[in-house]
């Protein structure tokens, strides 16, 4: 899986620039739709990144906004690049929405999980156990397809120019024996192993820390190398993820993550706690 600027990030950047240029031209979405003889909802979906924009549509919009020729051609080219397919297209029925595209281009990932090992750190058997529990109606072929897709995602952490990944997990993640003692032990040892990577930091919030700043659920903060691509917060739900891009929301979750880091055990102590839990499971198997 090659690293590089993903089509998803290009589309997001283009959408933001088109919105900025429309506002600079002092035009409303309705006025743009009327002038270009298209629906206002189409313009809105383009500006929010929910749909792609063809080079022809991009050119029409930019000419309406009276953008200088050099800048216009650069943005039309960006629209072409945004329409290319990323590696995840092979799993388009598994990966829906923009999440994997954003993740693939992030320079930093800050994750909190209260119930499950984060997806980028899961072993194959752990993934299978989780999927079979959550979706018992899925046939085995569907489970295996999704296992393969997630394992492909995980190459992000060990490939060229990997992002800085900081995962904070609640101690409950360690104590819940997913897939049986054998599967869980291998999962915990995997956490210890991957925690040694220079770009990966793992912390555990022990039960003794009591209540903490993210009792409501998991989230992920995605940071990007280019200043023009602001951070995004992804909040996972059972019916699909929610993306938060407003600065006030991103700042709130960033502060929340800082509080979690302060509440958690140090990275070294966290790995020690994970290893102790794995050893306890080994003794259970022997008994």
- 91 secondary structure, DSSP code: G
At residue 239, the pLDDT reads: 61
User: Domains, the chain, ranges and CATH?
Assistant: 7-84 (1.10.260.40), 92-286 (3.30.870)
Tell me which of 84 and 4 has the higher pLDDT.
84
Report the SS3 class of residue 31.
Answer: helix
pTM: 0.76
* pLDDT > 70 in the chain, percent: 90
In whole angstroms, what is the distance from residue 62 CA to residue 147 CA? 43
At residue 219, the pLDDT reads: 93
Mean pLDDT of 60-88: 81
At residue 285, the pLDDT reads: 65
Q: Where are the alpha helices (DSSP H) in the chain?
A: 7-24, 29-36, 40-47, 55-64, 69-82, 99-105, 124-134, 140-154, 171-175, 181-194, 247-263, 267-286
- Whether 1 shows a pLDDT value over 50: the answer reads no
Q: What are phi and psi for residue 173, nearest 5 degrees?
A: -60, -40
């Amino acid at each position: 899986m090659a690293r590089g600027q993903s089509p998803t990030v290009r589309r997001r950047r283009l959408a933001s620039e088109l919105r900025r240029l429309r506002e600079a031209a002092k035009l409303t979405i309705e006025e743009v739709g009327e002038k270009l003889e298209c629906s206002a909802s189409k313009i809105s979906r383009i500006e929010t990144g929910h749909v792609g924009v063809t080079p022809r549509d991009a050119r029409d919009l930019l000419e309406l906004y009276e953008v200088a020729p050099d800048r216009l051609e650069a943005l039309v080219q960006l629209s072409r690049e945004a329409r290319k397919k990323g590696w995840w297209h092979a799993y388009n029925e598994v990966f829906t929405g923009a999440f994997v595209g954003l993740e693939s281009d992030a320079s930093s990932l800050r994750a909190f999980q209260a119930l499950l090992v984060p997806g980028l750190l899961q072993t194959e058997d752990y993934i299978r156990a989780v999927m079979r529990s959550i979706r018992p109606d899925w046939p085995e072929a569907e489970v295996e397809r999704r296992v393969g897709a997630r394992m492909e995602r995980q190459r992000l952490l060990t490939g060229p120019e990997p992002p800085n990944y900081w995962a904070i997990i609640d101690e409950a993640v360690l104590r819940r024996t997913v897939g049986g003692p054998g599967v869980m032990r291998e999962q915990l040892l995997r956490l210890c192993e991957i925690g040694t990577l220079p770009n990966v930091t793992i912390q555990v919030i022990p039960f003794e820390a009591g209540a903490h700043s993210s009792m409501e659920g998991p989230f992920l903060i995605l940071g990007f190398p280019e200043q023009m691509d602001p951070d995004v917060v992804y909040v996972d739900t059972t019916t699909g993820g929610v993306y938060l891009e407003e600065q006030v929301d991103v700042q709130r979750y960033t502060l929340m993550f800082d509080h979690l880091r302060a509440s958690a055990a140090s990275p070294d102590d966290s790995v020690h706690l994970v290893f102790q839990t794995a050893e306890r499971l080994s003794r259970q198997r022997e008994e």
